[in-house]
């Protein structure tokens, strides 16, 4: 877990938040603009939590992939969490 935190760093956390906001914004546009704040929040939560879950499951593989791999996993996680959130909100 510590290797993931070292690989992410401060700039990485900012990029993860931005990736989550982007995914949430796209989800709110697709859903017609309803629940925009909820989608943004869900996207950020999904983007921040997913790399840590993957690190727990896969160990150092994620950290070895670098920041781009972490952001890619974060985007996938944000989309999955947003799909679940869309089922709950609509």
Question: Based on the structure, what is the number of domains in the chain?
Answer: 1
Decide if 29 contacts 88 (C-beta within 8 A): no
Chain segment 16-75, per-residue pLDDT in tens: 899 889 988 888 888 887 788 988 998 899 888 888 887 787 756 666 667 777 788 888
Q: Above 80 in pLDDT, residue 76? A: yes
pTM of the full structure: 0.77
Can you spell out the DSSP letters for 5-68? HHHHHHHHHHHHHHHHHHHHHHHHHHTTSTTHHHHHHHHHHHHHHHHHHHHHHHTTHHHHTHHH
Q: Above 60 in pLDDT, residue 88? A: yes
Cα distance between residue 51 and residue 74, in whole Å: 6
Q: Above 60 in pLDDT, residue 1? A: no
Q: Which residue range forms the structural domain that includes residue 82? A: 2-89
């Amino acid at each position: 877990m510590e290797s993931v935190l070292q690989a992410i760093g401060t700039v990485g956390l900012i990029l993860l938040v931005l990736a989550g906001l982007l995914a949430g914004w796209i989800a709110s546009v697709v859903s017609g603009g309803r629940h925009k704040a909820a989608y943004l929040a869900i996207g950020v939560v999904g983007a921040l939590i997913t790399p840590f879950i993957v690190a727990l499951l896969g160990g150092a593989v994620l950290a070895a992939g670098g920041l781009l791999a972490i952001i890619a996993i974060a985007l996938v996680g944000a989309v999955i969490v947003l799909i679940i959130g869309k089922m709950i909100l609509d």
